[in-house]
């Protein structure tokens, strides 16, 4: 097929084990729609999250907690759909601290994450050296509303306190944990090999979960939350954090959106939910 827009990349095609399936019309809108369908497929009946929130108790946040989070915010970060960056929220907090405190505590009191703060602005980045005609050659990046990320950070403070107090996270889990890193995991692995090599046969099994964040099953996540006895507040907040979430691709001429029914949003502060998702592996 002759290309009508030579300045664009080749037509995008879905791939199953790198086999090309079909070719859409070679326009920007077609390309974006194809990418959106690939990264955010239509939800099926099996994706329905059967959960009924019942409001649970949580201790109110105090100004000191919010000050820690606000003071740690870094400027220069790209804002989400609403173009409000961290500097603006820091200025609002300085002007009226009680307003921000009340706003956060209302969300926590009702175990609720506001719906408009769930919407992400999506960009697609071509991976180095990859075929631009394949959907699998792209990485999606989600920019989330900055106020939502502030609320996420405060929720994460509460979640980490409960996890530490109840010793939920396995000591060998290094991802998504403060004070843990890949470097530390590799160091401990090497030390284990050094200690055991002289007297034992050793084997290392490595497991790579393809598109781990994008494929996180919310039903499995909630079964894990139930089985580990997470309080209602955490389950409700995560439920509303995920429910009715949408991803938007927008520029000067296009606005295309898709519902999200699985995965952990790229750019999310509470990626620890993926750490909870894989608890049963330990």
Spatial distance between the Cα atoms of 51 and 243, rounded to a whole number of angstroms? 10
Task: Give me the chain's average pLDDT, please.
Answer: 85
In a domain, 101, yes or no: yes
Q: Which domain holds residue 68?
A: 28-38+50-170+211-268
Radius of gyration of the chain from its Cα atoms, rounded to whole angstroms: 22
Question: What pLDDT does residue 25 have?
Answer: 57
Q: CB–CB of 282/168 below 8 Å?
A: no
The structural domain count of the chain equals 1
Question: What pLDDT does residue 9 have?
Answer: 47
Q: What is the pLDDT of residues 170-183, one digit of tens each?
A: 888 877 777 788 88
The answer to whether the pTM exceeds 0.75 is: yes
Q: What is the pLDDT of residues 197-241, one digit of tens each?
A: 887 788 888 888 777 777 888 999 999 999 999 999 999 999 999
In a domain, 4, yes or no: no
Helices 86-95 and 97-109: angle between axes, nearest 10 degrees: 110
In a domain, 175, yes or no: no
Spatial distance between the Cα atoms of 5 and 136, rounded to a whole number of angstroms? 22
CA dihedral (145, 148, 154, 158) positive or negative? negative
Spatial distance between the Cα atoms of 158 and 178, rounded to a whole number of angstroms? 14
Spatial distance between the Cα atoms of 68 and 63, rounded to a whole number of angstroms? 9
List residues bridging with 124 in a β-sheet.
140
Tokens, residue 9: 């990349």
Question: What pLDDT does residue 166 have?
Answer: 93
In a domain, 100, yes or no: yes
HEC-encoded secondary structure of 69-80 = HHHHCCCCCCCC
In a domain, 193, yes or no: no
What is the pLDDT tens value at each position of the chain, 282 positions in all?
Answer: 433 433 334 455 544 444 343 455 578 888 899 999 988 988 877 777 889 999 999 999 999 999 999 999 887 677 888 889 999 999 999 999 999 999 999 999 999 999 999 999 999 999 999 988 888 889 888 899 999 999 999 999 999 999 999 998 888 887 777 778 888 989 998 998 888 888 778 888 888 877 777 788 899 999 999 999 999 999 999 999 999 999 999 988 899 999 998 888 776 777 778 888 888 776
In a domain, 275, yes or no: no
Collect contacts of 220-229 with beta carbons under 8 A, ≥24 apart.
220/277, 221/273, 221/276, 221/277, 222/49, 222/51, 224/276, 224/277, 224/279, 224/280, 225/276, 228/168, 228/276, 228/279, 229/166
């Amino acid at each position: 097929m002759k290309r009508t827009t030579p300045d664009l990349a080749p037509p995008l095609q879905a791939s199953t084990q790198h086999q090309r399936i079909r070719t859409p019309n070679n326009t920007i809108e077609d390309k974006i729609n194809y990418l959106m369908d690939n990264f955010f497929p239509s939800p099926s009946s099996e994706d329905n999250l059967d959960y009924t929130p019942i409001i649970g108790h949580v201790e109110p946040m105090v100004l000191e907690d919010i000050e820690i989070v606000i003071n740690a915010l870094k400027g220069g970060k790209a804002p989400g759909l609403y173009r409000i960056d961290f500097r603006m929220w820091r200025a609002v907090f300085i002007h009226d601290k009680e307003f921000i405190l009340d706003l956060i505590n209302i969300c926590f009191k009702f175990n609720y994450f506001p719906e408009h703060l769930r919407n992400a602005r999506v960009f697609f980045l071509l991976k180095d050296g990859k075929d631009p005609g394949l959907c699998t050659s792209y990485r999606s990046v989600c920019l989330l509303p900055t106020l939502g990320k502030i609320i996420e950070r405060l929720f994460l403070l509460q979640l980490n306190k409960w996890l530490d107090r109840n010793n939920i996270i396995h000591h060998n889990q290094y991802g998504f944990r403060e004070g843990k890193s890949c470097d530390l995991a590799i160091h401990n692995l090497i030390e284990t090999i050094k200690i055991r090599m002289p007297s034992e046969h050793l084997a290392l099994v490595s497991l790579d979960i393809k598109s781990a964040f994008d494929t996180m099953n919310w039903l499995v996540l909630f079964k894990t939350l139930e089985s580990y006895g997470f309080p209602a507040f955490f389950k409700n907040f995560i439920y509303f954090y995920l429910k009715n979430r949408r991803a938007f691709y927008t520029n000067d001429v296009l606005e295309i959106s898709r519902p999200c029914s699985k995965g952990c949003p790229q750019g999310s502060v509470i990626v620890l939910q993926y750490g909870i998702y894989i608890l049963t592996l330990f």
